[in-house]
Structure 1
Amino acid sequence: MPDKTRFDRNEGSQMLYFINQLAMLWHLKQICSCLKMERMLRESLPERIVKQEVVMEWVRKNWDKY
């Protein structure tokens, strides 16, 4: 479950863990949803957003834009 710890989009194991956690939490079953989330995080997540909780909220708010 995402928490108040720091998120580093450039750390592969952290990215995989975070995506897997959100996929379980949001019941995402398709690999394309996880790949979409990875693209969002790598290419579009604002640099100022660094806490996992805030990253999760950003993904939720921006999901339909990507």
Structure 2
Amino acid sequence: MQLITNFTTFTTFTTSITIKAHHNQSPVIISIFIEITALMILFSRRNLHYSDYKWTAYVQNDPRVNGKPDDTLFNKEEGNEVVYLINKLMIFWDYRFANTGNKMEKLIHDKLPETITKQEEVQQWLKDNLKF
């Protein structure tokens, strides 16, 4: 059996499961093979601390929620943009825990200066202000 699930436009997860049972009372052998063919989702909507975001639907290749952070405008009130950017930066900076994403979210939500309006500016600002 092969199951392919798309979590987001940049994530594909493929799982193959093989189950073999033997007639002579041998134990059931279960083999699970997981292949991650794209970037992992480390931080998602369910990880968000705040609930006051807008949730606009974006087309699949919209630069506000796809690609690498660049000079695309960033709206900290849009949940999809916040989740995308946090996830992307966690991958770039090799952060693996949702609580790091929550720290980023709180900084963006509460302290991001209004003069910072582009994804790459948010990236640099977080790099300068994220303390552990």
Matched, 1:5 2:51: no
Deviations 1:10-49 (A, max 9, x none): 0000110011100110011011100000000000000110
CA-based RMSD: 1.0
- Higher share of residues assigned helix: 1
- SS of the residue corresponding to residue 2 of structure 1 reads coil
Q: Which residue of 1 aligns with 2:112?
A: 45
List structure 1 runs of 4+ shifted beyond 3 angstroms.
none
- RCO comparison, higher one (Cα < 8 Å, 6+): 1
- SS of the residue corresponding to residue 130 of structure 2 reads helix
User: Can you give the 5+ residue segments of structure 2 that lack an aligned partner in the other structure?
Assistant: 1-67
Q: Which residue of 2 aligns with 1:55?
A: 122
Distance 2:79 2:115 in 1: 19
Distance 1:62 1:10 in 2: 20
TM norm structure 2: 0.48
Q: Which residue of 2 aligns with 1:29?
A: 96
User: Can you give the 5+ residue segments of structure 1 that lack an aligned partner in the other structure?
Assistant: none
Distance 2:81 2:98 in 1: 18
Q: What one-letter code is carried by the residue in structure 2 that aligns with 1:47?
A: E
TM norm structure 1: 0.94
Distance 2:81 2:119 in 1: 10
- SS of the residue corresponding to residue 128 of structure 2 reads helix
